[in-house]
Chain A
Amino acid sequence: QSALTQPASVSGSPGQSITISCTGTSSDISAYNYVSWYQQHPGKAPKLMIYEVSNRPSGVSNRFSGSKSGNTASLAISGLQAEDEADYYCSSFTSSSTVVFGGGTKLTVL
């Protein structure tokens, strides 16, 4: 199972909006609505930000939103803040009953 494809890096200025894409195949992202997004700060464990494509867990800012179209899922962050600077990973359930992650995207807040 190959990793989902994410851009290596994205950047934006405080207050701006950014989008991170996550491209898979017909065996994962487009086949299931079990797409999740995780935020990871250096030296810390990942934190769930989005589950089931577009749902936010309690406590996650509504500045974070998720969507999916075909084989590609997206994470949008609006009103960028310095604390949003982190690595972001997407994941999806697959037709092999496994889970696949994206390679990760480093978000830099300029």
Chain B
Amino acid sequence: EVQLVESGGGLVQPGGSLRLSCAASGLIFSSSWMYWVRQAPGKGLVWVSRISPDGSTTTYADSVKGRFTISRDNTKNTLYLQMNSLRAEDSAVYYCTRSQRGGLDWGQGTMVTVSS
């Protein structure tokens, strides 16, 4: 069974930084495309970023390009999202997901709140 466990969320001031982590198990992590997806309170799902199995290819949504960085450590089966220059509109539950044939397996999410 695939397990994805996010951590690192919390309250941060506008302009601040936060790094999210996602520990993966039950899958061949080093062969998996990994994504981050977020959901603001009461709103829909929004794709944030993706990274190739070897980490050489990354893609970002326009709304986070230049501020967020996705990375991975295949030796630790862990996915990361470094979030800088955070804005109020970045407040959301952030989900770590594994892509397989276009379908996503989901973690339980970690809440990020950007507020002064």
The proximity string for B residues 94-116 relative to A, scoring 1 for CB distances below 8 Å and 0 otherwise, is: 01000011111111110000000
Which residues does chain B contribute within 8 Å of A36, judged by CB atoms? 102-104
B interface residues, how many (CB within 8 angstroms) = 21
The CA of A3 and the CA of B39, in the complex, are separated in Å by 14
Contacts of B37 in A (CB 8 A): 99, 101
Q: Does B85 contact A (CB under 8 A)?
A: no
Given contacts A45-B109, A98-B61, contact A3 B44 (CB under 8 A): yes
Question: Is B46 within 8 A of A101, CB to CB?
Answer: yes
Contact indicator B103/A45 (Cβ below 8 Å): no
B45 in contact (CB, < 8 A): yes
B61: min CB distance to chain A, Å? 7
A69 to chain B, nearest CB (A): 18
Which residues of A are found within 8 Å of B109, using beta-carbon distances?
A: 45
Chain B residues closer than 8 Å to A102, beta-carbon distance: 44
* Contact indicator A51/B101 (Cβ below 8 Å): yes
Stretch from A11-19, A76-84, A89-97 contacting the other chain = A89-97
Distance from B66 Cβ to chain A, minimum over Cβ atoms (Å):
15
Question: Is A52 on the interface with B (CB-CB < 8 A)?
Answer: yes
Point out the residue from A1, A51, A89, A101 that lies within 8 Å of B102, measured CB to CB: A51
Is A57's CB within 8 Å of the partner chain B?
yes
Interface residues in chain A, defined as those with a beta carbon under 8 Å from any beta carbon in chain B: 1, 3, 32-36, 38, 40, 45-48, 50-52, 55, 57, 89, 91, 93, 96-104
- In the complex, 7 of the A-B residue pairs with CB atoms within 8 angstroms, ordered by the A residue number, are A36-B103, A93-B102, A97-B59, A98-B61, A99-B37, A100-B47, A101-B37
Kindly list the 6 A-B residue pairs having the minimum CB-CB distance in the complex, ordered from nearest. A51-B103, A34-B102, A99-B47, A104-B44, A45-B106, A101-B45
